[in-house]
Amino acid sequence: MTGNHMTPRAFVAKELRRAREQMGMTQAALAKAIFASDSLVAAWESGRRVPKPKYVAPLVEILGIDAILARMISELVTSDAPEWLGRLLELEGRSSSLSTYQPLLVPGLLQTEDYAREVLHRSGRHYPDVDELIQARLERQSILTTDNPPLLVAIMDESVLRRPVGGPGVMREQLAHLIEVADRPDAVIQIVPSDVGAYPGLAGGFLILGFDGREAVYVDDAFSGDIIDAVDDIATMKRVWEALRVEALPGKQSVDLLAEVAKQ
């Protein structure tokens, strides 16, 4: 929900719940009838997830939902991902520049498959299909290898390089991938060394997207993400970004540090 306007996902969630209640069914009864889990039905009705295509026909048959709602599920809300993620992917696809900072982990746009798998497994959250999430993350990275990729500038804290996510083998592969990306003409990777102490940005990671002559900022937490497009907020995040670049090592020194840690 945004202001007083209901999003398509929220509308679908409300209508599914209304249709179920009109049929006098519990969430558990509906889940059993369509061979789904109770938690999945609850996620549909809260708007956290959207029914996949294989569930649309059973929902139409059992709940009697009309063709318009069925079409919204199949076409208007096209992804099982949260709406904020759908908007992020859409903006990334249009972006001419991506400026990302992470104090704890390698940014998703630069994660290897094994690194991403370990991050998801150790997240403390239950994901029904980790392989699907990993594949989606890897497909998201395809914007960096198009014929006209956006300029990517990624800043990370040195602790990101030294945290043994997945063990030495996974980290060696991940660091090698970062070195390979840094060698591209449209990518810059910079590291904030650990001896800097406290500096702007430690409060959390973010991504600044430049597209169509405009900018937006993406921030996330353990549960969700948000796209910020208010002018004053963007200006604040750009000041933080510039302060980060002052503290970070230049590109070549950053790559040297990556190589040094990879050997260790």
Task: Give tens-digit pLDDT for 139-167.
Answer: 889 999 999 999 999 999 999 999 999 99
CATH number attached to the domain at 8-76: 1.10.260.40
Q: Please say if the pLDDT value at position 123 is more than 80.
A: yes
Residues facing residue 187 across a β-bridge = 152
Q: Does domain 83-263 have CATH number 3.30.870?
A: yes
Q: What is the pLDDT of residue 3?
A: 41
Give the pLDDT band of residue 224 (cuts 50, 70, 90).
Answer: low
Torsion region of 172: left, alpha or beta (phi above 0 gives left; psi -120 to 50 gives alpha): alpha
Query: Could you give the CA distance from residue 131 to residue 119 in angstroms, rounded to a whole number?
Result: 12
Kindly state the percentage of the chain with pLDDT values over 90: 57
Kindly state the percentage of the chain with pLDDT values over 70: 91
The whole-angstrom distance between residue 246's C-alpha and the CA centroid of its chain comes to 27
Q: What is the pLDDT of residue 184?
A: 96
Mean pLDDT of 35-62: 84
Task: Give tens-digit pLDDT for 53-82.
Answer: 788 888 988 998 887 777 777 665 554 455
Torsion region of 15: left, alpha or beta (phi above 0 gives left; psi -120 to 50 gives alpha): alpha
Q: Please say if the pLDDT value at position 2 is more than 50.
A: no
Q: Please say if the pLDDT value at position 221 is more than 80.
A: no
**What does each C-alpha distance from 88 to 7, 63, 98, 216 come to in angstroms?**
16, 33, 12, 10
Q: Please say if the pLDDT value at position 259 is more than 70.
A: yes
Mean pLDDT of 28-38: 91
Mean pLDDT across the chain, nearest whole number? Answer: 87
Q: Please say if the pLDDT value at position 40 is more than 90.
A: no
Q: Please say if the pLDDT value at position 186 is more than 70.
A: yes
Q: Where are the domains of the chain?
A: 8-76, 83-263
Task: Give tens-digit pLDDT for 88-107.
Answer: 777 888 899 999 999 999 99
Give the number of other CB atoms < 10 A from CB of residue 198.
6
Q: What is the pLDDT of residue 89?
A: 76
